[in-house]
Homo-oligomer: A and B are copies of this chain.
Amino acid sequence: MVQRLVVVGGDAGGLTAASQARKRRGPDDLEIIAVERGRHASYSACGIPYWIGGEVSTVDDLVVRTVAEFREKFTIDVRLRQEAVGLDLDRRAVTVRDLAAGTEYRLRFDHLVLATGAVPVRPPLPGVDAPGVHLVRTLDDGEAVRSTVDGGARRAVVVGGGYVGLEMAEAFIRRGLAVTLVEAGAQLMPTLDADLAGVVLAAVRGLGVTVRTGERMREIATGPGGRVAAVVTDGGSIPADVVVLGLGVRPNTALAEAAGLPLGSTGGLVTDRRMRVTGPGGGWVDGVWAAGDCVQTTHRVSLAPVHVALGTHATKQGRVAGVNIGGGYATFPGVLGTAVTKVCGLEIGRTGLGERDAERAGFRAVTATVESTTRAGYLPDAPGITVKLIAEHRSGRLLGAQVVGQEGAAKRIDTLATALWHAMTVEEIAGLDLSYAPPFGPVWDPVLIAARKAWDAVVAAS
């Protein structure tokens, strides 16, 4: 008898699960239907700032696979503008609303993948829904921002100084807008320690962005036609033709919650290692899986539950769910909080725990920061790099790492993430056989220099 897999959410987590399940089970064995409430499925949300900034020319470039490709190549029925509005775990059925037709129907399932993603934080402030105020979460959001810019916006205000905020600030600069970035916290990039965040601040200012930290948005003032006119903060009023909110996200779990599924402390769905959703009783719910931004996972260093909304985790988790639905065996190993971005030529990477994270997790930490280059110093224009390591007191075990620098800097975080994965001490890291040639760094790679210095600091503090 043909079983049915219903996937709720047509992006990275959901459609990776669908494809992986299909790889292992043919259409005669498993029917696959994916419902997506938006107008697009299977796209790179991370690419939206590059599309708005003009580096990517058409929205189609961001689409990984079209609905037609899913149907023809994979026999996966991806349905757009179809929102799952009800989940009945006992009867094993999802209620779906056809947003265009306004009708509803039920889909019975044998397997269900909850890949409902995350919803961007939109604070309940006056004017926050005014035309011209945008989120940058979906391709639909991206199209809205782009059309506002194309419509002649000259002044942009970006609220929130994290990854999305910085990437959008750069995109607006590329499009020739005057840009103000407002961040309620004391620093940009809250996932970086304050010292490295200071390096980023200087670079962003160097790009021509007006940065206002420590200012909280109070309301959006509107003008003619109710359109956005200014962002009002506790520091004043900033005129704006277009506003983007980059205030983070929270797991989108309304459907699951209404069905009685428990949430974790971070607000995300809880799963086991195979991405099976944990039910009210604590065990997993048979045939119900989850992947992507709607789930919480475990940080491999703090061992605490975390919610990290990133496409890498979504695709990995989707793959794990799909392999398991397909009758294979795969597990998701948790995360380190590795992240990277590039803003105006400045490459920024981080992994593991920052100084404050480490303290919050109960560690006593020692840090070391070094300045080096990503080419031999004697080669012309050797790009600079700052590497900061956070190590555990006494043991010297790496707890986290941060890099900020120019060309060739960011991807060094992967080496440190792999070292962190294995709980290496900074002394051990200093002995790693990393590659060396003058076009790629000094004879002691910046990673190794930082590890040596961190080990010296650990010894000195012991």
Q: Is A445 an interface residue (CB 8 A)?
A: yes
Q: Which of A44, A312, A419 has the most CB of B within 10 A?
A: A312
Given contacts A380-B55, A440-B342, contact A411 B431 (CB under 8 A): no
Q: Is A139 an interface residue (CB 8 A)?
A: no
Q: Is A47 an interface residue (CB 8 A)?
A: yes
> Are A44 and B376 in touch, CB under 8 angstroms?
yes
Partner of A333, one of B417, B431, B436, B443: B431
CB-defined contacts of A351 to chain B, threshold 8 Å: 433, 435
CB-defined contacts of A347 to chain B, threshold 8 Å: 439-440
Given contacts A431-B316, A436-B312, A437-B340, contact A419 B417 (CB under 8 A): no
Bound CA span A51–B328, Å: 55
CB-defined contacts of A363 to chain B, threshold 8 Å: none
CB-defined contacts of A447 to chain B, threshold 8 Å: 414
CB distance from A357 to the nearest CB of B (A): 15
Can you give 12 contacting A-B residue pairs, CB < 8 Å? Answer: A46-B436, A47-B376, A50-B376, A331-B431, A340-B437, A342-B440, A408-B411, A410-B437, A410-B440, A411-B440, A414-B415, A414-B434
Bound CA span A333–B376, Å: 25
Q: Which of A316, A411, A431 has the most CB of B within 10 A?
A: A411
Bound CA span A332–B430, Å: 10
User: Which residues 371-419 of A have a CB within 8 angstroms of B?
Assistant: 376, 378-380, 408, 410-415, 417-419
Q: Is A243 an interface residue (CB 8 A)?
A: no
Binary B-proximity of A291-321 (CB < 8 A = 1, otherwise 0): 0000000001000000000111101100000
Bound CA span A340–B342, Å: 24
CB-defined contacts of A228 to chain B, threshold 8 Å: none
CB-defined contacts of A426 to chain B, threshold 8 Å: none
Closest to A311 in B: B443
Q: Is A422 an interface residue (CB 8 A)?
A: yes
Q: Is A280 an interface residue (CB 8 A)?
A: no
Q: Beyond A316-B431, A331-B431, A415-B417: 4 further Cβ-contacts under 8 Å?
A: A55-B379, A62-B378, A310-B436, A332-B431
Given contacts A316-B431, A408-B411, A415-B418, contact A56 B379 (CB under 8 A): yes
> Are A50 and B438 in touch, CB under 8 angstroms?
yes
Q: Which of A12, A335, A379 has the most CB of B within 10 A?
A: A379
Identical subunits present: 2
Bound CA span A124–B460, Å: 54
CB-defined contacts of A410 to chain B, threshold 8 Å: 435, 437, 440
Given contacts A379-B50, A444-B315, contact A411 B435 (CB under 8 A): yes
Q: Is A337 an interface residue (CB 8 A)?
A: yes
CB-defined contacts of A341 to chain B, threshold 8 Å: 437, 439
User: Which residues 331-352 of A have a CB within 8 angstroms of B?
Assistant: 331-342, 347, 349, 351
> Are B414 and A338 in touch, CB under 8 angstroms?
no
Bound CA span A391–B336, Å: 25
Q: Is A61 an interface residue (CB 8 A)?
A: yes
Bound CA span A438–B434, Å: 25
